[in-house]
Structure 1
Amino acid sequence: MTLKDLPNVELHLHLEGAAPPAFIRGLAREKHIDISGIFAEDGSYSYTDFWHFLKVYEAACTPLQTPEDFRRLTLAVLEESAANGVIYSETFLSPDFCGNRDLAAWRDYLAAIEDAADQAERTMGITLRGIVTPIRHFGPDKARETAICAAETAGRFITGFGIGGDERSGKLKDFRWAFDCAREAGLRLTAHAGEWNGPQEVRDAITDLGVERIGHGVRAIEDLALVDELAERGTVLEVCPGSNIALGIYPGWRAHPIEQLYDRGVKVTINTDDPPFFHTTMAREYDMLNRAFDWDEGVFRQIARTALDAAFCDADTKAKIAKKLEAADA
């Protein structure tokens, strides 16, 4: 058994952000859409900083116009994830990009995504669940519409609700209505916080929105009292080291705080965020963390179990995934 053979669980993956560049280029050609300006000479996505990344991300979504486009996208993303050892994944889905938050259209997009997920589970052995995510910089009013889409489709596949986008846009408390709506529908809650803003943003996500997981959350390390509180509460961090380094939040892998958080008892998980944008995969995340911190198989197995415990899926799905992890441990 080597690190590349270890099955893993991913909780923080943006579906559109995981689109292979070649897939998006091909789809754009089919639709005669010119988005050539978002690609580098080697064919990868090209951006200068986080805010430019958001614009490139949204431009890359423009060829994704129909439910069939999203069915094909889901298969392409899950094929890449499965090839990198992922056996269970939760992906952020935005009704903003799937029918412009129209409920009837959202249902059509969702049906196509679920169909692809079922096909991938049969043929690739990877299980997918969805977390509906409003875009923070689109504002609270649109987030309400997104929350209604989430509440109306909560169930076996849609199991969570979160928020992504520009962390410096507005306050988390502005989105309280949307999170209350999702909570009342039985959805589990997470939020991007503590990536660009500091530790207070992590506190706000917990106190203002009542989330049980934090997307990123790494800036908590700047307040050790908060770190200890996260450990005591059992709050799970969806850490994306390669993303943080690619965007310049930390200068390199050894400078990343994931090991400090782990050593202080915080429940950390390993995730890829928007992998082709950040030139990463789950296999690469494992490899780089092993090189930076000398983490062995035991650490990665424990983190995978932590991720599964924190997953938003139902008990039967969780038991099925647990058996796969246990088989690999044997």
Structure 2
Amino acid sequence: MSRVSEFRDLPKIELHTHLEGSAPPAFIRGLAREKNIDISGIFDAQGNYTFRDFDHFLKVYDAACTTLQSPQDFHRLTLAVLEETASHGVIYMESFLSPDFCGGGDLVAWRDYLAAMEAAAAEGQAKFGITMRGIITAIRHLGPDQSRNTARVAAETAGDFITGFGLAGAEMMGRPGDYTWAFDAAREAGLQLTAHAGEWGGPDMVAETIRDLKVSRIGHGINAINDLALVDQLAENGTVLEVCPGSNVVLQAVTDWNAHPIARLRDRGVKVTVSTDDPPYFLTTMSDEYDALARYFGWGPDDFADLNRTALDAAFCDAKTKAKLATRLEQQ
């Protein structure tokens, strides 16, 4: 039996979301109408996003992003996402932000977009009680050269709001070592590091990402389970996995919830966290994720408390913010 409503008010820490991918479909349709953009083909009869597979998902995602054309659009988007996310008990979220979608990666334009998102984050914290931090993210399938530009933009705008640097997109394009320059530059700028790996690639992709990019967190990382020596290395080194089970199931990175390795990874000592990735695309929320974990793996209050402690420890925010969040987690 579903217990989604039971989990809604439980305070949660979420580390792996894509801002554009968190846009409610009704919000995107509204922008499309305002701008006379025809993207009707990316929605099903019920008004939800629709796609066939991961490659088609990327195309639908890009089509939805064509409606986001100005800093004001991103201000509105950020507020809409924060309101929806907070309604499921999330008190802290990190979101991947792509300068490539915000002025084409131009630093001057990016500063305007960033100011709009940061203002919306402050407004969202005041209205909805949710704290947000941004992780500037290079898009892997745009290539290493573009990732260097993204890293420069990240280095120039690192601060209290932009606290991390990451890599997302089509995982099987190139190898992690191709993006070393970008990650070195981001590290030198004081940004904390994460990268998507092991969602579609095998354990070797996870191992190379850790070795070549020197990240503290891995986005997804679920295919590490196919190399138990690597799993033990992740546990020993304290590498944190940003696991998004609902996303993995919908995109068929795993066959179904029963086959998902999150419980096996955690039982072997790996630090796992839970996030929604691109929630409206996968018809999920953090409440739904907790409900599924309870139904399929029997996880209860102690397990969820442990997940949130792990996520808070791994969060890309300062000690003062973590202390405030810890107090809120302890109140439940």
- TM-score relative to the length of structure 2: 0.98
**C-alpha displacement at 1:131, in angstroms?**
0.2
Aligned counterpart, 2:54: 50
Q: CA RMSD in A?
A: 0.9
Aligned counterpart, 2:188: 184
Pair 1:20 & 2:24 matched: yes
Aligned counterpart, 1:247: 251
Aligned counterpart, 1:75: 79
How far, CA to CA, are the matches of 1:111 and 1:318 in structure 2? 23
Work out whether residues 150 and 161 of structure 1, in 8 Å CA contact, stay in contact via their aligned partners in 2.
yes
Match of 1:303 among 285, 307, 320: 307
How far, CA to CA, are the matches of 1:94 and 1:38 in structure 2? 21
Aligned counterpart, 2:217: 213
Aligned counterpart, 1:294: 298
Superposed CA offset, 1:42-76 (max 9, x none): 10001100001001100100010000000000001
AA aligned opposite 2:35: K
What residue ranges of structure 1 are gaps of 5+ in the alignment? none
What residue ranges of structure 2 are gaps of 5+ in the alignment? none
**C-alpha displacement at 1:3, in angstroms?**
2.9
Q: How does 1:217-228 map onto structure 2 within 5 Å? A: 217-228=221-232
Pair 1:92 & 2:101 matched: no
Q: How does 1:91-240 map onto structure 2 within 5 Å? A: 91-240=95-244
How far, CA to CA, are the matches of 1:48 and 1:187 in structure 2? 35
- TM-score relative to the length of structure 1: 0.98
Aligned counterpart, 2:330: 326
AA aligned opposite 1:266: V
Work out whether residues 3 and 297 of structure 1, in 8 Å CA contact, stay in contact via their aligned partners in 2.
no
Q: Size of the alignment, in residue pairs? A: 328
**C-alpha displacement at 1:126, in angstroms?**
0.1
Work out whether residues 8 and 87 of structure 2, in 8 Å CA contact, stay in contact via their aligned partners in 1.
no
How far, CA to CA, are the matches of 2:45 and 2:317 in structure 1? 40
**C-alpha displacement at 1:2, in angstroms?**
4.2
How far, CA to CA, are the matches of 2:264 and 2:237 in structure 1? 17
Identity percentage of aligned residues: 66
AA aligned opposite 1:245: V
Aligned counterpart, 2:69: 65
